Chain A
Amino acid sequence: MITIRKAKDRGHADHGWLNTWHTFSFASYFDPAHMGFRSLRVINDDRVAPGKGFGAHGHRDMEIISYVLEGNLAHKDSMGESRTIGPNTIQAMSAGTGIVHSEFNPSPKEPVHFLQIWIEPAVEDVKPTYHQMSFEPSEKRGKLRLIAAPYADQAKADGAALINQDARVWASELGAGESLTQPIAPGRFGYVQVARGNVLLNGQKLGEGDGAAISAESSLTLAGDGSDGGEFILFDLA
């Protein structure tokens, strides 16, 4: 079964400095019907104005992944990390016992557009960690690029972030007419979030910002749709 969450039906808040769309309940957007899907708790589609950002704040027991689509994000945290990320870079934090971090758009002119993803950890009170790794755009073009996984050996081998949950996360960009197929193991779930452009999921049209919750499917075929195809994030969830 594929349940589509249309982009325009998501929670929305425009604070001026931040224009954000919430796939699931977040901050002042609360809808009991959209509290998350399996361990996936948050997908925020954020656009932050030049020079603005999220001041220092705390998290506990959450796996937090940022995926930049356009622009840059300057990150600073209580683990001593102070780094800037752009497109084709994975930023993943395990908040565990507690972290404090800030995320700002360092550009004086350009906005930053990024997806903020939260996955609930399977275990609490882990030691906080920060992972950041970049990849070539070609690594996600026409195929799935693993960005987060729970197995240290797989995460390390594939240059992905290690997360404390039985979930895998990929990014992919498909040109018009390009396609790929990914099996879903029995009893597993999936979620697709379209970051930009258009894709077909098992023949169903998904536009920019649309999401799809997947259960009881054995296989997913994703294809670039429209004139330019699209980019999406795929989750495999317990």
Chain B
Amino acid sequence: MQDLNVVVVFYSRTGLTENLALAAAVGAVEGKANIRLRRIPETASDETIAAIPGWRENHDRMSWEYIAPREADTLWAEGLIVAIPHWLSLSSPEVKSYLDNLAREKLAGKFAAALGPKGLDQALAAAGLTIVPPVVGADAAECARLAGVRVADAIRAEKFGGSGH
């Protein structure tokens, strides 16, 4: 396998966005990339988490199954896919903290896809990443999968030339 590395970073409360991140990761694997999945840590209080059905159990499970994004992951990866709920503000504490840290890293020449609210792609572009055009459609998981394929293809074209297909 050619060495293409993609890290998928997501923030999820009840597992819906986690599933989009998984779909994007599958797409990247279909595009013959190695993948890592990283979860943006929770900042909400226990009381807030307890108030929403399904949040607590998914929080505990995801805390166990995923580690937080590290600079080593973006150093390793040539492509980054960020998945956050479309209703979540980019200025919410979880997302802002992640994006602020990301902006301090050296990301020039790397590719990114945004799965989330308006403005997420601009925020990633502002951090120096080259944005892979989004896939628009009714099936969010399928769009996420295709985004994963596109990011892997973009890296391959840049590194090795040609689409590989």
Interface residues, chain A, CB within 8 Å of chain B? 51, 55-60, 76, 78, 97-100, 102, 104
Contact = CB atoms under 8 A, between A and B. Distances in A.
B125 to A, nearest CB: 26
B23 interface: yes
A179 to B, nearest CB: 42
B29 A58 contact: yes
Contact of A99 (B26, B33, B37, B64): B26
Interface residues of B, number: 19
18 contacts: A56-B22, A57-B36, A57-B37, A58-B33, A58-B35, A59-B29, A60-B30, A76-B65, A78-B23, A97-B30, A98-B29, A99-B29, A100-B25, A100-B26, A100-B35, A100-B37, A102-B65, A104-B65
Interface in B13-68: 22-23, 25-30, 32-37, 64-67
Contacts of B138: none
B1 A58 contact: no
A127 B37 CA distance: 22
B29 A100 contact: yes
Contact of B25 (A76, A78, A104): A78
Given A55-B67, A104-B64, A78 B35 contact: no
Given A78-B22, A100-B37, A56 B66 contact: yes
B37 A60 contact: no
Interface of B: 1, 22-23, 25-30, 32-37, 64-67
Nearest to A97: B30
Contacts of B32: 60
A51 B26 CA distance: 25
Nearest to B28: A58
B66 A55 contact: yes
Contact of B1 (A55, A56, A60): A60
The interface centre, meaning the residue of A57, A100, A104 with most chain B CB atoms within 10 A of its CB, is: A100
A75 B23 CA distance: 17
Nearest to B21: A56
A59 B30 CA distance: 9
Nearest to B25: A100
B29 to A, nearest CB: 3
B26 A58 contact: yes
Contacts of B29: 58-60, 98-100
A75 to B, nearest CB: 12
Contacts of B34: 58
A56 B26 contact: no
A76 B61 CA distance: 12
Nearest to A96: B30
B41 to A, nearest CB: 15
A51 B35 contact: no
A55 B30 contact: no
A208 to B, nearest CB: 31
Nearest to B22: A78
A55 B35 CA distance: 11
Nearest to B18: A56
Contact of A56 (B27, B30, B33, B65): B65
B30 A98 contact: yes
The interface centre, meaning the residue of A98, A99, A102 with most chain B CB atoms within 10 A of its CB, is: A98
Contact of A100 (B1, B22, B64): B22
The interface centre, meaning the residue of B25, B29, B65, B66 with most chain A CB atoms within 10 A of its CB, is: B29
A68 B52 CA distance: 37
A123 to B, nearest CB: 16
Given A76-B65, A98-B26, 10 more contacts: A51-B64, A55-B66, A56-B35, A58-B28, A58-B33, A58-B34, A78-B23, A97-B30, A98-B27, A100-B35
